[in-house]
Structure 1
């Protein structure tokens, strides 16, 4: 049964909304024309189409809503009927079947409510879910207690779950369900841990690398050498080109409020004809070129930043990188990139100027080469410890058997 209807920001209803509450199985709503009766029927017919409105149903169970209003008549009873509807009397037996089915549905809904009450909620600690939550907490505490007793001996095997009680318990349960290995004695596990978890025997992730080709390709972009000026066949174009101040004119147009308003260049009244000529001067080609300049500047900055971040990460990666050789190369690359970003910013401010980017390929390749050398060393190291990894995985799983 419908318990409440809230309607807001629709038709004549205010933003704060109005509520129909305390509804009963049968409700009679009356009012003058334009008072909002049809709006109520429309919201009930399709509540999803009215995001500012809502309905509340008994026990949260909505039922099929059938609405007969002017919208229904318009949809179904036009000059060409969209459907043929017949009304007749149902047999008494059919009515009895419907009533019996309704009673069954009501009984099932009551059973669902009882089962939900028995199930309870974990957050409130009620019912079976509350019991499960308490049992889980006790089991986590026991696992963590045993883990703490052996943490000093098997801390490398517990990596990833050493500081998380819940994750550690999850791993214990997962091993119980999936690990079919033979269990080992505690002393045997201790002996293996002391040998295969020795310092220096860990696998090392390769360093991130980069491709400098995209960064280098920016240097030959034709927009850098192109003098981006206004349309050549406009009457004012030769004068502005001769004065070399198209960028200044373009910037000033942003401050023009319209014809017959003060000119931002001379403060005299801006004639409509002059304003039109100035606007025509900077056509779609000019706009496209300036957008290309903006895109080049932004893309260059993004790509350059990624390369510098990768290079900085390599400097702080560990003993496999030649820091003394890499640092000056990274500094040189950063300086070149900074200078090129200055050139690109000038090109953005002055589209009519020609700029040339400093070549960054040699510096970028030198940095990438040192990172590549370090990755080759890491690859050789990882090959040496490959067999140890399998043993460590077995031992780590075996340790979990201590808790089962």
Structure 2
């Protein structure tokens, strides 16, 4: 059998009849032995697909074949009142027959080539899968690295294969880009896919901008003093202690005419002179300073309140530390300026400098401006969220593909090479399939135009007549075209009056010709699996050998790959049929690669099937032959009795042949020797006749052995003799 040829590769019976969870892996030729009721018919029904149980059949290369099964169901189905005709080629059209056979062989060869090429495709696919798995492993590492980008990778994280396929799909859309940093991308991802993402109010600085900085007060940089036109005034200016004097004036009403400091009586008119010193101009200047102090303090409060209000409006996610720092710096400047004004009021004659608060105020506005810019960007993001996310996705995938560039190139080289090989092989397969279809069409046409159901009728009737079945025959049905009937010599229907043995015999002959034919006008050589289940049940022993020969012919054609027979199962409970049908030739055996032996047994209502590489069936009959082979021509009293027992066993028990007919086939001394062997059978297994003397000399034993062999040859049982003696050479036929 050619490798990969379609046939049953595995049979699993989970639950059918007495089978439970049994699996066998049959070979091309299968011999199955088992007693009645062990489960042989259930196995044949499983193969035919008619079993009601739970089972599964695996076919080599996934190609299901036609199954032809001979069992009780076949007989019941096919032998109704009208029997379907079997189309075969007419014998007068040898040229067409040879062409059909040639086409059948070509179709098989093309099928095998297609199978081989398909396996090559499968091999390339496996290489692609291996390369893809390596690529998938590399992708999975990146998947773990980028797992934080769950929304972008959504739908691709179901498994390694899914993610790898997504990477390949993205490679056709997105360019690899290694420039982005993954942390930067994730920061952007956190913003773009934030649950809190929404448009926000922009920062409004108009109120703060409307607060005008008070104009500078020139009095702060000029000393404020009283009138120096009086002697006391001149004296105060000289001492530059107007502040000290002013404080004293405030205490003067409490002094009661005495100096507040030395307690001496004050000169008359001193108070008037001092009051004249602090004239209206002085008071106006000091009043102007106090007014400026109030204005600046109000300015400071409005600025601080405005800053605090603006900062309160800033969304929580924005960092206001920069604003706080700038506001603190501004507050410091304003406080310093207020302190300077206060100092001026304490000492109007002093000069104070104000710090410029504009720069600090600008810094606060700038800090708010930067936050507002972020808010503007956020709002723009909200307005363009779809395109922004798409762009981010592109950059994330670009970085992933950049990281996978080496792995992807390696996969592309390997997978691309495999795909190129696959395309090339597929092209060959397509051509072969086209060629196969053309040959199948030609073959079908030839079979349709050149086939007939008549040759099958003639062949079956010839075998029936040859084996003495003259009371019935197979006939073409004149009323139903393409059908047969079983009839008596007078044309009457004989189907209902046949004995069980006759019925089974003609049924098997019909099945045998169906194996080599078809119920249709074409399909004669359609590939098929043949199953023969106990074909010799209820058959007379005189037809067992023709059944055996026909079964062996089917097995032989299966072995040689002829007539579309791809696989054979022979099931029997008869040990002698089993031995005959399994015999290949002396000193020859079926190769283990093609043939399997199976034993079916049943215990506790559970069927078991055991596989054997060699034929496990051995009988006491075989042991008798073993003894003959071992003794050879040596004078041995047991040898004669062993030969007699073999003849008795074979011709009386197995063959059903009148052994005494063979005596007249011999002449002279050989006839006497034959009579000596056969007469012992006639006298019984345990009796010895007094009519002849048995001599056990070497010459006599050679004569007994030679005549023993010729008995089988003359009765047409040479094949059986050579099978049992395990030899091909012949002894001389004449002493």
TM-score normalised by structure 2 residue count: 0.23
TM-score normalised by structure 1 residue count: 0.41
Bigger relative CO (Cα 8 Å, ≥ 6 apart): 2
Larger radius of gyration: 2
